[in-house]
Amino acid sequence: MKRFAWLDAFLGRLVAEDVMVREQPAVPALAPARTISVDADHWGKLGQAAKNWGCRWVACWGEDRGEHFQVHTCFEKDRGYLLARTDVRRLTPILPSHAPYFAAADRAERHLQDLFGIVFGDHPDPRRWIRHQAWKDSEYPLRKDFPLAGHPQPQTPADNDYKFLFAQGSGVYEIPVGPVHASIIEPGHFRFQAVGETVLHLEERLGYVHKGTEKLAEGRDAAGLARLAARVSGDSTVTHGWAACMAMEKAAGLEVPTRALVLRAIMAERERIANHLGDIGAICNDVSFSFAFYQFSRLRELWQRINLEIFGHRLLMDRVIPGGVTVDLVPEAIAAQRAQIRAVRPQLDRLMDIINTSPTVEDRLIGTGKLSHEVAAEFGALGYVGRASGVDLDVRRDSPYAPYDILTVSVPILHGGDVAARVRVRADEIRNSFVLIETLFDKLMPGPTCAPWVPPAPDSHGLGLIEGWRGETLAFVRFADDGRIARYYPRDPSLINWPLLEHLIQENIVPDFPVCNKSVNGSYSGNDL
């Protein structure tokens, strides 16, 4: 299907509905997206029309442009991306909401509300999301006049007035979990309403590890932003680093050497494999199948030791830099990785056979945490969460970027929608990544691994889209007049997938929450920014 065959008809429909919309000239730095500007008063009509047209909501973010705020929303349909922009006056920053039409827009718009002070007048849930009492109601940290350090209080007031759903009825009781957990995972609060052991409703409260990432980016040089991006979510350091570098490189018109792009892809696939190995083991651990937990943890550990030996870092952090990569592969390193794949491949198959033929494991995983295709599609579920529920989406295949544009990317799609399906998708993705890495070794031609960084023109901006191990990952970057960062926004897949946990846990028993949660494995850090 031609990527933008739908867009001309969509724009025609907007005009017919008296929506003030203008298509902007093509900007290579924003590819694969086309760009339109929309009058602020008609922003809500845009959201409604996009919903009716079958678009998928991808992300939204804001910028302080002086006398006005610029709001961006990204949509996708038929493998084509549309970036819509509108401007709102600083003195009266009021916009219609897209949340009535796209459930995935809910928390992102509340993020803008808390950090910019933009009011979405018809938003169905205007409660604070990120604020958590850390600054005054009249303070908005992403405005340019707000200092990086803020105005620290001697003691932050307790965030005890957040109005969770109040449960009523015979036999209904409430279970608060978190935000501080018994294990080493990051903080998040989960409020259950249940009858007996059956979960009726779950509500999440996140934002406890808000780090000010977007504010920290302002004023950094390109190399400094790459380091910051690599820490948006530590388990996705290659993904976020690559997305940010892609956005910056597009903005600067910088051509990355072919060898560097192949090396980035090898590292991205190694990151995917390591995390999937760890997740499968952790899911098994949550149903007390310790044998599989030990074995998958062993494989992940050996996989990451090779990362350290060959690339210099277990998690591959800071290996992706503007213009290329910091590390090259010698023939011996390639041979070591080929040998590791040959060793792990049969072990993975044998372990999956054990999992799939274990009655006790099947009893805990099959039918547990089922996410219907309809709900997954409604939210635009990403990565293994979406694929296990029949959502067929992968940026490497659908909007291919180098070097995936010369590769055949197989995408496993299942329809069970339960924890068992999410385990199977992970295993299939590992197998596919083995093949991709072996193919990439064959594509690794001699050449430079980095191009010299050239500061972009003032006000240059770019968009990066990468298929990370959790799914589609977006980065937007704008440069200031001095060649430093004016705005950086990363959208981790977890922003989309976290709300789905609230849906798939319904009608399950409370003791199955850990395994349902792990099967989604949203990033707290990647979500909270």
> Average pLDDT over the chain, rounded to whole?
94
Least confident of 11-25, 159-173, 352-366: 11-25
Overall pTM surpassing 0.85 (yes/no): yes
CA distance 154 to 170: 44
pLDDT at 30: 87
Q: Which tokens go with 225?
A: 């932003």
Q: Given the structure tokens 């976290």, which residue do they identify?
A: 498
157 class by beta-carbon count within 10 Å (0-12 exposed, 13-18 middle, 19+ buried)? exposed
Q: What is the three-class DSSP state of 30?
A: helix
Q: Which tokens go with 459?
A: 């006000």
pLDDT at 529: 92
Of 414, 419, 412, the C-alpha closest to 397 is: 412
Strands 80-89 and 172-177: unpaired
pLDDT digits (tens, 9 = 90+) for 463-482: 999 999 999 999 999 999 99
Domains and CATH numbers, the chain: 7-120 (3.30.460.80), 213-528 (1.10.645.10)
CA distance 167 to 352: 41
Q: 31: pLDDT confidence band, cut at 50, 70 and 90? A: confident
Q: What is the three-class DSSP state of 176?
A: strand
pLDDT at 2: 67
Residues sharing a CB contact under 8 Å with residue 92, sequence separation 6 or more, in sequence order: none
User: What is the number of other CB atoms lying within 10 angstroms of the CB of residue 193?
Assistant: 19
CA distance 23 to 8: 10
The percent of residues above 90 in pLDDT, for the chain, comes to: 82
Judge whether 392 and 382 are in contact, CB under 8 Å. no
Helix spans in 173-232 (H): 213-217, 222-229
Phi, psi of 53, deg, nearest 5: -85, -5
CA distance 273 to 307: 12
pLDDT at 9: 84
DSSP 402: T
Judge whether 443 and 406 are in contact, CB under 8 Å. yes
The total number of residues written for the chain in this structure: 529
pLDDT at 436: 98
CA distance 157 to 178: 18
The percent of residues above 70 in pLDDT, for the chain, comes to: 99
| Average of per-residue pLDDT across 224-231 | 98
| Average of per-residue pLDDT across 217-221 | 97
pLDDT at 12: 82
pLDDT at 275: 98
pLDDT at 200: 93
| Average of per-residue pLDDT across 493-497 | 97
The distance between the two most distant Cα atoms of the chain, rounded to a whole number of Å, is 71
CB burial of 441-462 (b: ≥16 within 10 Å; e: otherwise) equals beebeeeebbbebeebeeebbb
| Average of per-residue pLDDT across 279-293 | 95
| Average of per-residue pLDDT across 158-173 | 84
DSSP 253: T
Order of strands across the sheet with 461-467?
461-467, 472-479, 485-491
Whether omega before 32 lies within 30 degrees of 0, making that bond cis, reads yes
pLDDT digits (tens, 9 = 90+) for 77-136: 988 899 999 999 999 999 999 999 999 999 999 999 999 999 998 999 989 898 888 888
